[in-house]
Amino acid sequence: MSAASINGKCAIREVAADVWTFSCPFSRFGVVPLGGRSTAIKMRDGGVWLLASTPLTDETKTKLDELGPVKWIVGADAVHHLYLGDFKKQYPNAKIVAVKEAIDKKAKEGLEYHGAWGADSPDTQYGFEEEIKHCYFSGFKNKDVAFYHPASKTMLEADLLFNLPPTEQYSNTGSSGRIPVIGTLNPYMWLHKRIVWSLGVDKEAMKRDVRTVANWDFDRIIPCHGDVIEKDGNAAWREAYKWYLD
């Protein structure tokens, strides 16, 4: 793992070979610190696949330009879509893939999309599957997509799993990022199980997709909210979603 470099308020680091995270402070309603994170993966052809969930700062742009041309801009669920247009404007040749709900919310922006989870056939291939797998959670309230990068044994997701407090995401702010009252929320807590159970609006679809992800061979989880789980990520996933797997 490469050493972290802190730029502006975001921590930018290579968490595994060719996998870079952009970890930024973010609080829900300005009160609850959740943190935000984008992740870039340099692919074998030299292009960059980007889960875009944080602002396109100068430091973010500099690092992305160092990595290579951005070819894919991905929106991970129905609510992580605020910056898709900013990235597309900066990288006009990149293809955007997002969930249908996010696309509908951004209709006025006139963005062109290469694919839409929730509208496309479930077996649709977008062009990056040889290196990055995906599983669309149709039964999850936020319509999330989980991603798997076998080369680094990494799973990426937005709101399917939390690992709070967001220490790294607040590492350049002077704040601990600790959540008021509850302090922490991680995959091994009963509260986490309760939350993801309640967010499953179609339990049978959830059981199917939870098992698909559980069968991926990953060790690391990169969440949008909270610290990266550097090891035993598959075990953490199985514990967080234990009620769906039992």
**Per-residue DSSP letters for 85-138?**
HHHHHHSTTSEEEEEHHHHHHTGGGT---SEEETTS-TT---S-TTT-EEEE-T
Q: How far apart are CA 28 and CA 222, in angstroms?
A: 19
Domain that holds residue 237: 5-120+129-245
Q: Which residue has the tokens 């060719």?
A: 18
- 22-39: pLDDT as tens digits: 999 988 756 678 999 999
Beta strands 19-24 and 220-223, pairing class: unpaired
Which CATH number goes with the domain that contains 66?
3.60.15.10
pLDDT-based confidence at residue 6 (cuts at 50, 70, 90)? very low
Q: What gap in Å lies between CA 4 and CA 134, rounded to an integer?
A: 27
Instruction: Report the alpha-carbon angle 7-87-233, nearest 5.
Output: 65
DSSP label at 30?
T
What is the per-residue burial (b if ≥16 Cβ within 10 Å, else e) of 63-97?
bbeebeebbbbbbbbbbbbbbbbebbeebeebbbb
What pairs with residue 157 in β-bridges? 223
Burial of 129 (0-12, 13-18, 19+ CB in 10 A): exposed
Average pLDDT, the chain: 93
| Closest C-alpha among 7, 43, 42, 1 to residue 23 | 7
**Residue 177: its pLDDT value, please?**
67
Note the pLDDT of residue 231.
98
Structural domains in the chain (count): 1
Structure tokens of 206? 């959830």
pLDDT digits (tens, 9 = 90+) for 42-59: 999 999 999 999 999 999
Percent of the chain residues topping a pLDDT of 70: 92
Predicted confidence (pLDDT) at residue 195 exceeds the cutoff of 70: yes
Kindly state the helix (H) or strand (E) to which residue 234 belongs, with its residue range. Answer: helix 233-240
User: Rounded to an integer, what distance in angstroms lies between the CA atom of residue 204 and that of residue 58?
Assistant: 43
Predicted confidence at residue 29, as pLDDT, reads 59
| pLDDT given for residue 173 in this prediction | 81
